[in-house]
Structure 1
């Protein structure tokens, strides 16, 4: 199971609501403490953000020309 931004959003929502249960791909997981839930959220955030960084550079170049030919 690949972790996605949707999974991270579900963890954030559980933390905001104060619940310890989160559902991923139809499977419900219940954490014992809020600390475990936050640790899981941090782990998922690292994985999701690492995937975003490996997409390559987002550098764009533009070449402008004028009617004068410059």
Structure 2
């Protein structure tokens, strides 16, 4: 599922009100704790902003071999 700005807005609204249940595009999620909610928000925010971990450059080294 690709996260959208609307999803980020929805989770931020839930955090602001202290709710642990969030309705996203096609489903609703109830988080166990505010910590889980904040962790999910950080993941959604990273994807929406294009800063998802693991998308950086990959460096390799060629060691020769004949």
Tell me the number of residue pairs that the alignment of Structure 1 and Structure 2 aligns: 51
Find the aligned partners of 2:30 and 2:7 in 1 and give their Cα distance: 14
2:44 corresponds to: 44
Question: Any residues of structure 2 matched to 1:7-26 within 5 Å, and which?
Answer: 7-26=7-26
Identify unmatched segments of 5+ residues in structure 2: 52-66
- Which contiguous aligned blocks of 4+ residues in structure 1 show a shift greater than 4 angstroms? none
Question: Any residues of structure 2 matched to 1:58-69 within 5 Å, and which?
Answer: none
Find the aligned partners of 1:49 and 1:41 in 2 and give their Cα distance: 12
- TM score, norm. by length of structure 1: 0.69
Find the aligned partners of 1:4 and 1:25 in 2 and give their Cα distance: 9
Which protein is bigger by CA-based radius of gyration?
1
- TM score, norm. by length of structure 2: 0.73
CA drift at 1:26:
3.2
